Every structure is written in structure tokens, then in C-alpha cells.
Amino acid sequence: MMAGKLIRSIAAVLLAVLLAGPVFAGENSDGGTENLVAFLNTLGKKVSDFKTLKTDFTQEKEMAMFKDKLVLKGRIYLEKPNKVAWHVDSPLCYSVLITDKLIRQWDEDTNQVQEISLTKNPIFQNVLNQLTVWFSGDYSSLIEVNAVRVVKRDPLEIEFSPLEKNITRKIIKSITITFREDQKYLEQIRIRELSGDITTIHFTNTRLNAPLDKSDFEVKGHV
């Protein structure tokens, strides 16, 4: 039961971080803002040129209060413009589906499906758009309210840090994204929390414009 709660908690923090993308604020340390915007626009065009995506992921959570890492493994499916499924396969099973109409989640610990209607919860209506920023390449939108730093060029690594007016500053120290060699998609996201916890997500076997099945977007217990 405790393991299930921890996995759900980590998933919730991860989603909150991913949803926080455009709520940052900013400047940069790699030249002028205009140059960085142009660079992010060019990069975004490379990354956004797909309609469907499937990828495996390994998520490592290093907690300041514990010696051992918690490692989650699973799959992500995305279909533009408004459908994302996130499935954790181990150490426990957890699934969340986000569409333009609802959020549905299930975990084997409770074996229950929870559903949130987006039409009745306006706050969650931005969820899909924010996820799309990270997964679909709209990085230039981050520059408006984000401190941005190009850490290195090969492989390309960019750091986003929340400034004072960003509510996520109370939790997040920085988010660093690393691109794969062809720069068409992410290879890694690293989230540093003020608590000292670090979450690292590695993407592997990423396929763009891959055929997807209806079952890829179903959570267990779906009726």
C-alpha cells in the first residue's frame, strides 16, 4: 500500500512539473533573448514534426532522506493534438490517460479507476497543452517567463529555472532537458527539487509517427 501511494505521489509531482512548463519566467545566459527565442523556435520545429509518439521510459527518483533510488519503468503514448497516456509497469502498475475531455487514472494498489471531467474542472483544461510543450517541442513559449541556460551543445542540454514569481519555485530548483543526437526528441529530463530530491527520466526506443492502438490509451479497469 505504501509503495503504491509513493508511486502515485511521484507521478503527481512529475505531472505537476511537466504542466509547469510555460509558467516559468525569464532570461538566459547564452546571448540575447531574441537569439535564444530563434534558437528554441528552430529546435522546436525539429522536435514537433510528428503526429504520434511511443516511447519507453525509466524514471529514477533520488530522495534526500533515503539511500536507495526508486526506479519506475513504463511507456508513454502521445497522439496529437489532445491525447497522452502514461503507463508505469514496474515496480507496480499505474496508468493515467489525459484527453481534451477527461483525466482517468488507475493503479493496481487500489484497483480503482478515478476520472476527472475537464469540463467541470477548468484548472485541468490546461494539462494537455502543458504536456504538449514538453513532449511536442513548443520550447519558445518557455522563454517568456523562464530563466533559460544552454548548458552544453553536444549533446544539447538546456536548463530551465523558475524565478520568484513562479509558483513552482517553492518546489522546483531546475529542470534540465537533454536531446538525443539528432535533436528530434528528448533523451532525458532531470528535475531538481528544493528538498534535494532529484527525478531523472530517460526515454528509450522512441518512435515518432508510430502506429498506435486503441488499447495504448486505455487504463486497466476501464469500462
Q: Which of 11-25, 87-101, 102-116 has the lowest mean pLDDT?
A: 11-25
Label residue 111 left, alpha or beta by phi (over 0 means left) and psi (-120 to 50 means alpha): left
Q: Tell whether the model's pLDDT for residue 223 goes beyond 60.
A: no
- CA-based nearest residue to 194, from 212, 181, 211, 175: 175
Q: Domain locations in the chain? A: 2-217
Q: What percent of the chain has pLDDT over 90?
A: 17
Which three three-digit cell numbers place residue 101?
475531455
Q: Which H or E run includes 140? A: none
Position 165 pLDDT exceeds 70: no
pLDDT at residue 17 tops 50:
no
Beta strands in 63-146 (DSSP E): 70-79, 83-90, 94-99, 102-107, 112-117
Confidence class for position 22, pLDDT limits 50, 70, 90: very low
Query: Over the stretch 135-154, which tens digit does the pLDDT of each residue have?
Result: 666 666 666 667 888 899 88
Average pLDDT over residues 174-184: 87
In this prediction, residue 26 carries a pLDDT of 36
What does CATH list as the number for 2-217?
Answer: 2.50.20.10
**pLDDT higher than threshold 50 for residue 123:** yes
Check residue 210 and give its pLDDT. Answer: 92
